[in-house]
Amino acid sequence: MEHLESEETEGRQKLHDTRHNFISSIAQNMDLYGLSETNGRLYGTILFSDKPMTLDDMSQALEMSKTSMSTGVRSLTEAGMLSRVWEKGVRKDLYQTDDDWYKSFTSIFVNRWRESTDKNKNAAVKAKSELEFLFQITGKGSLREEIQKDLEILDQAVRYYSWLNEVINLFENGGIFDIIPKK
């Protein structure tokens, strides 16, 4: 019996270690999604939790302050990686991960890229129109040529961002799954 118990705790330790290693891996690569490694570890911890977690649970699990958990949870929630869940009789806020990775990771990807692409495209369009005006009122000369050259670059930029925008749409509306089906 004694022996079995030790096997049990040993196995539990192994399970914990394995989890920990995997969580470390995804946490280290979470910067691709705009999340810090710590928040990645937080996400991983909640992902493997068998039940929704409170801030105190997280604080204990990661041995970090509750304040940090609070801000981390906010980031993850805003990114759409986490959602708050209700349980009657429980006063504390409970959080859990969405178990559809396609949805979670696609949405965070789309949000980030959409925002930056829009900004850049707008900046390019604005710059272009400014230079087009400047081009009009500039007499022949080296300046005029420089403007011309900048306009070509900006034109390319706008086209690139338009393309990128469509790529993002493909992910947002799920069209990507027609091309590369979920596994």
Point out which residues bind DNA (CB under 7 A). 36, 38, 54-56, 63-68, 70-71, 73-74, 89, 91-93
Compare residues 68 and 120 and give the one whose CB is closer to DNA: 68
Separation of alpha carbons 137 and 143, rounded Å:
11
Separation of alpha carbons 55 and 174, rounded Å:
33
> What are the CB-based long-range contacts (under 8 Å, 24+) for 23-26?
23/47, 23/48
Query: What are the residues whose beta carbons fall under 8 Å from the beta carbon of 61, sequence distance 6 or more?
Result: 45, 49, 53
The residue from 88, 89, 137, 140 that contacts a second copy (CB under 8 A) is: 137
89 token code pair: 């009789």
Asked if 93 contacts 81 with a C-beta cutoff of 8 angstroms, the reply is: no
Read off the amino acid at residue 6: S
- Given DNA, a second copy, none, residue 15, with its beta carbon under 5 to 8 Å by kind, binds a second copy
Q: Counting contacts by CB under 8 A, is residue 176 touching a second copy? A: yes
| Near a second copy in 67-96, by CB under 8 A | none
**Which parts of this chain interact with a second copy (CB under 8 A)?**
4, 8, 11-12, 14-15, 18-19, 21-22, 24-26, 28-29, 31-32, 34, 47-48, 50, 99, 101-102, 105, 112-113, 116-117, 119-120, 123-124, 126-127, 130-131, 134, 137-139, 141, 143, 146-147, 149-150, 153-154, 156-157, 159-160, 162-164, 166-167, 170, 176, 179-183
